[in-house]
Homo-oligomer: A and B are copies of this chain.
Amino acid sequence: MEEQHIASAFDRDLEAIQARIMKMGGLVEAAIVEAARALETRDEELALQVRAGDKVIDMLEEQINEEAARLIALRSPAASDLRLVLSVMKISANLERIGDYAKNMAKRTVVLAQGPAVSDSTAALRRMAREVERMLKDALDAYIQRDVELATDVIARDLDVDQMYNALFREFLTFMMEDPRNITPCMHLHFIAKNTERMGDHVTSIAEQVIYLVTGERPEEGRSKADTTSTAVQEA
């Protein structure tokens, strides 16, 4: 937002909502890291904590939506301010989805912990989750600072996450073909990998919102979709 305006009731209300977004973002970042750690260390208790924590994230999204709607109704913001409020709602929806994926990872961790471990793929999953968490942190920083450069960087990094996912997909296929006993756990691990890749897509979507807010333009359509597994040929 280039234009300057005197701190108004609108600004104060918006700041309160943005503070809530940051709180929500912090909880989601923690959920990603903890879910991945629980998976790697087979820590069922931590996984259960992540699952329980998702309720708070959902509640925050609901509050943000209500406050944003109230803000629009009360202050009738002009076009550019309205765009800001709508972006807050979109970002909170993205955060809520990312939180859901972390919860799902925790859910599958509890099941996986009951069986034997499949190689060291959970370490690769943790690295992938860690990268997504860093991207999310930067996307939220970019939002607060209206930093287009940082937002663009976040979008570029999603390609790495997609590539990590592609590598894991191949790895899981190989494990499954080697030993049928790997099939069930690998289905779960693969889900976790795919959901982590989707977290990256939602982070990208937050970064795109930042760019749209500052420049008024949407980043070009052909956005980094580098999950190539949907075209993986039949190899066995």
Contact = CB atoms under 8 A, between A and B. Distances in A.
Interface in A127-161: none
A72 interface: yes
Contacts of A1: none
B236 A108 contact: no
Contact of A181 (B104, B188, B236): B236
Name the residue in A86, A116, A191, A230 with the highest tally of chain B Cβ atoms < 10 Å from its Cβ. Answer: A230
Interface in A166-192: 169, 173, 176-177, 180-181, 183-185, 187-188, 190-191
Interface string A85-124: 0100100010000000000100110110011100000000
Identical subunits present:
2
A232 B111 contact: yes
Contacts of A173: 183-184, 187
A107 B177 contact: no
B183 A115 contact: no
B188 A107 contact: no
27 contacts: A65-B86, A69-B79, A69-B83, A69-B86, A72-B72, A73-B77, A73-B78, A73-B79, A86-B89, A104-B230, A107-B230, A108-B230, A111-B230, A111-B234, A114-B234, A115-B233, A115-B234, A116-B234, A173-B183, A173-B184, A176-B180, A177-B180, A184-B232, A184-B234, A184-B236, A187-B190, A191-B230
